[in-house]
């Protein structure tokens, strides 16, 4: 059919085509890898941001709980002291009979 095409030329052409195909596949794989790496890095940055935000919220929450616990403890101590004073006063009133009606 084509007498000027020799088997060596066919082998050479197949080699060039396979090399070109390999280069195209390598390029596609490289670009896909770069895209996936970019997406992965973005996801890791978002995850780090979420983790940092969550840690800050937890620390703030714990600080608030500690502050409120100190306030509540002080309030309970004050209430306990006032209640003890009231109990002592009422006991003294009962013991002395103050406020009883004469019968």
pLDDT digits 0-9 by tens, 13-34? 999 999 999 999 999 999 999 9
The token duo for 22 is 């390999």
DSSP 8-state symbol, 28: H
Instruction: For the full predicted model, state whether its pTM sits above 0.85.
Output: no
Map tokens 């009133």 to a residue.
93
Where are the strands (E) in the chain, listed by range? none
């Amino acid at each position: 059919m084509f007498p000027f095409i020799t088997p060596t030329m066919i082998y050479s052409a197949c080699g060039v085509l396979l090399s070109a195909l390999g280069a195209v596949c390598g390029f596609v794989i490289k670009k896909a890898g770069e895209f996936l790496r970019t997406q992965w890095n973005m996801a890791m940055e978002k995850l780090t941001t979420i983790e940092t935000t969550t840690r800050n919220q937890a620390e703030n929450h714990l600080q608030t709980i500690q502050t409120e616990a100190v306030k509540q403890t002080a309030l309970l101590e004050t209430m306990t002291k006032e209640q003890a004073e009231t109990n002592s006063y009422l006991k003294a009133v009962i013991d002395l009979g103050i406020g009883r009606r004469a019968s």
